Structure 1
Amino acid sequence: MHLVGATIDRAEPRPAFRKFIAAATVGNIFEWYDWGVFAFVVTYIARNFFPSQDPTAALLSTFATFGAGFVARPAGALLIGWIGDRFGRKTALMTTIYVMAIGTVGTALIPSFNTIGVWAPVLLVSARLLQGISTGGELGGSLAFIIEWAPRHLRGFYGSFQQASTIVGLLIGSAVSAVLNSILTPDQMVEWGWRVPFIIGGVLLPIGIWMRRDLEDTPAFLESKKSKAEPMSFRTGAIMVLRAVGFGICWTTCQYLILSYMATFTAKQGGLSESQALWSHTTGLICAIVFTPIWGFLSDSVGRKPLLIAVNLFFSGMGYFIFSFISSAPGLYWIVAVQCVLGAVMAIHTGVGPAAITEIFPTKSRSFLNSLAFALVVTIFGGFSPYVATWLIQTTGSPISPSYLLIATGLIAAATVAASKETAHDELA
């Protein structure tokens, strides 16, 4: 197979590389700020768009809308991933941020159910679908861009910034929601306060558009366009995608149960107020951000496999005890401590996973296959995790039941990683 990327092998990043990192991650920050805000203000959205005498039913309807955006991810991955491999990484990244802006602003401006009736949830679902299309192409495309620009011995470190930016987006969303919950009354949050975070996102998105306008395509991509190598077979591509999905199922489940749903769980099952839950959650996100590049950097030395196997086994073995302890309502400080530990350990996924998965695919198809793999795993194991968690609690009557998701996905992911080749020290194909 024709190898590319040797021109930047073990070389220092170009002077403009920091600019490329910032431009590639800024869209991801806004993307996940929006997703995080939706999860953090979900109870207020439920009351505006899915009025019901049963609060759990309204919450389930809203989480289903949250998951609908994930259903659109494969479509976004197919479209924007193809654009990235056909027309370049820059074109794909510009496409995602424009679609993202429409979805975010749309969510902020949609009238409530009491104003326009059934059109309110219809428009809300439409906005989430646009957001899903954007995210479907953003994650895989920005990772391909970053990994291809990075020198071989620092791919894990630089790739970790993409996922760190994801947590930054969630952190900002959590912090904004916490501030609003602290300064506004519950009635104000229901009436108009929940819209403020989406308006903020819509106002700031032009900054991301401006930052991306001067991007250059990667040397690896430009070199791959000159290659005369035969296209890979469908079977080969499918095996690569399935391996990447196996790598990501525990990571994705953790990301949505621990980095998104946990704010809801600690409020409903852990005995915290809405404000306490959001501030506790924010603390855990800070720990995850700090440790993400540390684990990414370490994986460049010791490899991706040992760290990924360890984190998958941790959540498989400890998932039950984590949810059991929090549901015992041990108090704010204990829950904050647990969320800090979870954030630090979860950061192994976010620090090591981006490079590990992206390195699976060859440059000629990396944007498309990477986007598709992430979209599939996030759609199946991420978007509906909060919904499944809420449903499990309601069905079983046990607040610990969401841990079953961590146990199952952790075992599958550990086995997949153990059976795969180490790629940390190889050149990009």
Structure 2
Amino acid sequence: MNNNTKAAKINKRSLIAGFSGNVLEWYDFTVYGFFATVIGSQFFPNEDKVVQLISAFGVFAAGYLMRPIGGIIFGHIGDSQSRKKALLISVLLMAIPTTLIAFLPNYESIGWYSALLLIILRLLQGLSVGGEFTGSISFLVEKAPKNRRGFYGSWSTFGVFGGMLLGSGLAALITAILDNNQLHDFGWRIPFLFGAVIGIVGLYLRKGMGDDEHFEKVIKEHKSNKPPISEFWADYKIQALKIVLLSWAFGVSVYMIFIFLPSYLHTFLHVKLDDALSSHTIAIVVLMLMIPLFGILTDKFGRKKVLFASLIGFVVFSYPLFALMFESTFTAILIATLVFAIFEAMFQGVMPALMTETFPTRVRYTGLSVSYNFALALFGGTTPLVCTWLIKISGGNVWMPAYYLIATCIIGIIVAMYMPETFKNELE
């Protein structure tokens, strides 16, 4: 009985530690996205607010260009040494640059050096997150019982939106308390400073996380002289391509609705920023509560049924939901984001287990990190920049983000048709 109790405690600690880094990662990116208009004015002086926004989101996207490199580095560590070691290094490398952003001087103080320093810190963060999400889903799904992999994996994306909730909640509080001058003077720095606290907690939790039992067993049974990246590239290119294309829709849906949308509503539809942030905070709470539920449903009914429901929902309802948001009232925006949250919860609940089951254990961390981060670097992290650019080149057509979301989800549906159903399979 004592052994069972001990195992349960280890699993609970591992579960929390597994997704804690995702909290920090997405807290940081959410805060940056929500304060993009302020950051643009601090580091990129230009009278055109759209140009400032493009510059700020350009730095946001630049960090994502480092993700595939980080994926290769952390994938090698995770597949050749241990998941735990890779995840410890990842959360530390994420926390330090996040904190340093709070102390950066602006353009008025040191000129263009301020933008250069911001870019360097975002690049370091991008390197770190290249191994964070994919490492956490590998760790959690591998530790899960066969019939609960969807549920365990869903907690990694629960952590993602936990970070978003912290970021949007704090951003909403700051914008409600401070006036515009205070927000530009010092208010935008506060959330980045708070990131240090999250990083310390995450590091503490991960030092005590459980061992990689499944990984260690597989490595002993299947010793290979090939580096993980070589074996992955030789044998799993088709699987990687499917994950890349599916992650395109996955990344665009997240970054458009839960990162870009507040700035989009504020800049192009002239919605009050605190209204945009408040509606998104409520939607994120609802989304978080639904993610584990859909994780359970994928364990019961299969990955593909939930995946198709999500993608088809986005294709059918994105246009009318954007039309609803164009009414520019708090109620209309809240209803639209809540409906979007349902489809996103399905997507978030299914993807961790589905992706993890695509690759065998010996190259899983590498395979996930390279394919997923390539997609996020090329398509996901660039979503705010692409959407803003599409609106600008189309002469101010505010429908362009909706069209982009629909197009990527149609591609996702086609790819999903060729994905195998894996929820009953043993992990290799």
TM-score normalised by the chain length of structure 2: 0.94
Which amino acid letter does the alignment assign opposite residue 244 of structure 2?
Answer: V
Greater mean deviation of Cα atoms: 153-162 or 260-269: 260-269
Looking at structure 2, the residues matched to 389 and 183 of structure 1 have their Cα atoms a distance apart, in angstroms, of 30
**How big is the shift at 1:167?**
0.6
Looking at structure 2, the residues matched to 212 and 166 of structure 1 have their Cα atoms a distance apart, in angstroms, of 16
Looking at structure 2, the residues matched to 233 and 286 of structure 1 have their Cα atoms a distance apart, in angstroms, of 37
Corresponding position of 2:252: 253
Looking at structure 1, the residues matched to 213 and 267 of structure 2 have their Cα atoms a distance apart, in angstroms, of 50
1:118 aligns with 2:112: yes
Corresponding position of 2:425: 426
Classify the secondary structure of the residue corresponding to 1:109. coil
Corresponding position of 1:141: 135
1:335 aligns with 2:329: no
1:352 aligns with 2:350: yes
Identity, in percent, stands at 34
Looking at structure 2, the residues matched to 341 and 193 of structure 1 have their Cα atoms a distance apart, in angstroms, of 31
Looking at structure 1, the residues matched to 233 and 44 of structure 2 have their Cα atoms a distance apart, in angstroms, of 43
Q: Deviations over 1:36-90 (max 9, x none)?
A: 0000111111111001111111110000000011111001101011100111011
Superposed CA RMSD in Å reads 1.5
1:13–1:151: 8 Å Cα contact kept in structure 2? no
Which amino acid letter does the alignment assign opposite residue 53 of structure 2?
Answer: L
Equivalent pairs counted in the alignment come to: 417
Which amino acid letter does the alignment assign opposite residue 200 of structure 1?
Answer: F
Classify the secondary structure of the residue corresponding to 1:15. helix
Q: Deviations over 1:167-222 (max 9, x none)?
A: 11011100000000000011111011000000011133111111111223322100
Is the alpha carbon distance of 1:233 and 1:211 closer, same or farther for their aligned partners in structure 2, counting shifts above 3 Å?
A: closer
Looking at structure 2, the residues matched to 403 and 294 of structure 1 have their Cα atoms a distance apart, in angstroms, of 27
Q: Deviations over 1:253-297 (max 9, x none)?
A: 100001111111222344420111100111111111011111110
1:323–1:399: 8 Å Cα contact kept in structure 2? no
Corresponding position of 2:193: 199
Corresponding position of 1:314: 313
What are the residue-to-residue correspondences of 1:92-103 with 2, within 5 Å? 92-103=86-97
**How big is the shift at 1:234?**
2.7
Looking at structure 2, the residues matched to 13 and 270 of structure 1 have their Cα atoms a distance apart, in angstroms, of 52
Q: Deviations over 1:385-409 (max 9, x none)?
A: 0111111111112111111211211
- Tell me, which stretches of 5 or more residues in structure 2 are unaligned? 1-5
Which amino acid letter does the alignment assign opposite residue 285 of structure 1?
Answer: I
Q: Deviations over 1:88-146 (max 9, x none)?
A: 01110011011111210121111101111111000000111111111111011111000
1:257–1:385: 8 Å Cα contact kept in structure 2? yes
Corresponding position of 1:81: 75
**How big is the shift at 1:160?**
0.4
Greater mean deviation of Cα atoms: 404-413 or 164-173: 404-413
Which amino acid letter does the alignment assign opposite residue 386 of structure 2?
Answer: V
Looking at structure 2, the residues matched to 216 and 24 of structure 1 have their Cα atoms a distance apart, in angstroms, of 10
Looking at structure 2, the residues matched to 95 and 142 of structure 1 have their Cα atoms a distance apart, in angstroms, of 13
Equivalent of residue 213 in structure 1, options 179, 184, 207? 207
1:247–1:357: 8 Å Cα contact kept in structure 2? no
Looking at structure 2, the residues matched to 427 and 385 of structure 1 have their Cα atoms a distance apart, in angstroms, of 35
Which amino acid letter does the alignment assign opposite residue 381 of structure 1?
Answer: F
2:299–2:423: 8 Å Cα contact kept in structure 1? yes
Looking at structure 1, the residues matched to 233 and 15 of structure 2 have their Cα atoms a distance apart, in angstroms, of 32
1:90–1:215: 8 Å Cα contact kept in structure 2? yes
**How big is the shift at 1:357?**
0.8
Q: Deviations over 1:300-332 (max 9, x none)?
A: 010000111121122123223322332242x11
Looking at structure 2, the residues matched to 59 and 266 of structure 1 have their Cα atoms a distance apart, in angstroms, of 13
Looking at structure 2, the residues matched to 344 and 222 of structure 1 have their Cα atoms a distance apart, in angstroms, of 37
Corresponding position of 1:385: 383
Looking at structure 2, the residues matched to 371 and 211 of structure 1 have their Cα atoms a distance apart, in angstroms, of 22
1:13–1:149: 8 Å Cα contact kept in structure 2? no
Q: Deviations over 1:208-251 (max 9, x none)?
A: 11111122332210011112366646342211211111222211
